[in-house]
Amino acid sequence: MDYQNIYQSIYHTVVDTDSELALKNMNLPDYNPSDSQNQWKRFDELLWHDENLGLWLDISRMKINKDDFAQLTPHFENALSAMSNLENGFIANQDEKRMVGHYWLRDPELSPDNKISQSIKQELCEIETFAHSILASEQTNDAGLPFTDVLWIGIGGSGLGPLLIVKSLQKLNSGLNFHFIDNTDPIGISNTINKLSSRLATTLFVIVSKSGGTPEPQMGMDQARFALEKTGCNWASRAIAITMKNSKLDNLAVSENWLKTFDLPDWVGGRTSITGAVGLLPLALINSNINSFLSGAAQMDKLTRNTNLLANPAVLLAAAWYASGQGKGLKDMVVLPYRDSLEVFSRYLQQLVMESLGKKNDRKGRVVNQGLAVYGNKGSTDQHAYVQQLRDGIDNFFVSFIEVLQNNQLPIINGRSTGDHLSGFFQGTRLALSQNNRQSLTITLKTFNESTLGALIALFERTVGIYAELIDINAYDQPGVEAGKKAASEILLLKSEIENYLLDGKTHSIAEISNNINGSSKESIFLIARSMASNNSNIIVEGSWSSPSDIKLKYKVN
């Protein structure tokens, strides 16, 4: 294969069709686990380790050989140079005409502009000072009482990172109690607010939305504010906004003089905002160590810039993903951390990977329908759920195991150690899968803490970036999410048109309603009508819901 013909695109080199073929035709080993000598050799050759972070990566049970990396070199050189351009401030998110700067958040000096690095440092200082004043009860509510709780309202990248931080790092009785609203489910919202009812007055309300206009957090905020103000408490002195400067949310917070606002810069994407205020504020408010978290991420950033491919863990991971799914996402990634504290990590990765890689077009505008499906929960729990299928059923996945070596000292009861069992269950499952020729990779952490969480996140962020370069897609936009938001607002508009139409008090069939409202979809009208009828006793329904075309609706006019 002539690798010299790789050509330059606008600002970085991308992989051409011939070279893509070379990637797809890599000599994938059909490794045989009973050939333990060969497997041991592969393990020995491919195991990556960093002593400072206490982190290992083993891709020896994925269908890739050490020798394959020689032919992969030009592809990864291109990808790494594109990543370096991105870190230098190129407009890597071309569709949104934005820089992609989450790497600067943990190494401000890396940013292309002194003003940006100053603002990152300033923000960090503000977060630490603010959180300290809250935890030390220097900053109290307007009645002089210390804050006890945080109600975090944000969705997608503005919700999942903070959830991961709190669920994985909060220690017993440390910092404030966290609650989340990340949906417009009325029952979910009222349960959360009701749980807080006696402590609403000592709750901080954090509203997070980069755009400042996403409907879900806006509605969550409206409900929380309504509940708080009903108790006679003041909203502004308890409310915090994390958003872009001059967004609708920012303008509201400024005009009402909210307790605090933090910046979510336009060069940080929602799903990569965890090392900015979105992740650092909750970290500080649970009294965790912000600097270890950032330093773990920064250390991993450094390691994943290494141009020696076999010494770069993000390259190893991206190569393993590519080889496994032939660069088309043909195999799903099952994330199995053997630790309760990492339960949310599978969901976090699901968003990071699928919102970044799940794209219709490549950067040349060709339809590619790319992606990499991610699901998972935790081990050993999942061994009693879907792992049965993984071992014996359809072979459409690879597993990413995450193992943590250090256990706490629970007493050994009846001669059994829970930590030893967890480790045994992990190793057993890994072995059982490869005995059936199922692929897996393993990330091992010596210990789980702020630093290793930061490193894990940085590892996957860089892997997503590199993989996106290999398949030539923009990992930093989310047109599908925007399309969903647009479709939802069209449905809400249709609902109010139906309501207006029914106000004549006459009986109408679905077809009649459709004819009279711009020929709107009958199925949408049926779905809206069914929901309206379940919630509004003024809607009179004739006919059977099992026969949609016979349904007639009427508004009871008093």
Determine which residue in the list 65, 168, 177, 214 makes contact with ligand PA5, applying CB under 6 A. Answer: 214
Report which residue type is found at 149: D
CA–CA dist 228, 460 (Å, integer): 39
Sheet holding 149-153, edge to edge: 177-181, 149-153, 203-208, 239-243, 260-263
CB of 217 to ligand PA5, least distance (A): 6
Binding mask 386-415 toward ligand PA5 (x if CB under 6 A, else -) reads ------------------------------
CB of 355 to ligand PA5, least distance (A): 6
Give the binding range for ligand PA5 (CB under 6 A) out of 52-60, 267-275, 441-449, 450-458.
267-275
CB of 437 to ligand PA5, least distance (A): 36
Nearest CB to ligand PA5, comparing residues 271 and 359: 271
Footprint on residues 95-124 left by ligand PA5 (CB under 6 A): none
CA–CA dist 76, 288 (Å, integer): 36
CB of 334 to ligand PA5, least distance (A): 22
Determine which residue in the list 209, 312, 377, 474 makes contact with ligand PA5, applying CB under 6 A. Answer: 209
Binding mask 148-187 toward ligand PA5 (x if CB under 6 A, else -) reads -------xxxx-----------------------------
Is-contact 271 348, C-beta < 8 A? no
Determine which residue in the list 39, 117, 119, 211 makes contact with ligand PA5, applying CB under 6 A. Answer: 211
With CB under 6 A as the rule, give the number of residues binding ligand PA5. 15
Determine which residue in the list 270, 327, 329, 337 makes contact with ligand PA5, applying CB under 6 A. Answer: 270
CA–CA dist 221, 207 (Å, integer): 7
Please state the separation of Cα 453 from the chain's center in Å: 14
CB of 181 to ligand PA5, least distance (A): 13
Tokens 């992606």 identify what position? 371
Nearest CB to ligand PA5, comparing residues 83 and 274: 274
Nearest CB to ligand PA5, comparing residues 62 and 475: 475
244: number of Cβ within 10 Å: 17
CB of 276 to ligand PA5, least distance (A): 12
CA–CA dist 107, 295 (Å, integer): 9
Which residue's CB atom is positioned nearest to ligand PA5? Answer: 270
CA–CA dist 478, 484 (Å, integer): 10
Those residues with Cβ within 8 angstroms of residue 165's Cβ, 6 or more apart along the chain or in another chain: 274, 279, 282, 283, 286, 288, 453
Nearest CB to ligand PA5, comparing residues 16 and 266: 266
Is 510 strand, coil or helix? helix
Backbone angles phi and psi of 58, in degrees to 5:
-120, 110
Please state the separation of Cα 65 from the chain's center in Å: 30
Nearest CB to ligand PA5, comparing residues 452 and 478: 478
- The set of catalytic residues is 355, 384, 485
What is the DSSP secondary structure assignment for residue 549, as one 8-state letter? G
Determine which residue in the list 28, 236, 310, 481 makes contact with ligand PA5, applying CB under 6 A. Answer: 481
The CB-based long-range contact list for 129-133 (8 Å cut-off, 24+ gap) reads 130/260, 130/281, 130/284, 131/281, 131/284, 131/285, 132/284
Nearest CB to ligand PA5, comparing residues 59 and 242: 242
Angle between helices 17-24 and 68-87 in degrees, nearest 10:
130
Contact between 474 and ligand PA5 by CB under 6 A: the answer reads no
Nearest CB to ligand PA5, comparing residues 481 and 527: 481
CB of 270 to ligand PA5, least distance (A): 2
Nearest CB to ligand PA5, comparing residues 63 and 359: 359
CB of 218 to ligand PA5, least distance (A): 9
Q: What is the dihedral of CA 497, 503, 507, 508, to 10 degrees?
A: -10
Is-contact 144 117, C-beta < 8 A? no
CB of 243 to ligand PA5, least distance (A): 8
Backbone angles phi and psi of 233, in degrees to 5:
-90, 155
Q: What is the dihedral of CA 173, 226, 163, 373, to 10 degrees?
A: 160
The separation between the first and the last C-alpha atoms of the chain, rounded to the nearest angstrom, is 79
Give the binding range for ligand PA5 (CB under 6 A) out of 102-110, 116-124, 219-227, 265-273.
265-273
Task: Classify strands 239-243 and 203-208 as parallel, antiparallel or unpaired.
Answer: parallel
Give the binding range for ligand PA5 (CB under 6 A) out of 17-25, 196-204, 210-218, 439-447.
210-218
Determine which residue in the list 210, 260, 347, 462 makes contact with ligand PA5, applying CB under 6 A. Answer: 210
Nearest CB to ligand PA5, comparing residues 270 and 548: 270
Footprint on residues 340-369 left by ligand PA5 (CB under 6 A): 355
Is-contact 372 321, C-beta < 8 A? yes
Residues that bind ligand PA5 (CB under 6 A): 155-158, 209-211, 214, 217, 269-271, 355, 478, 481
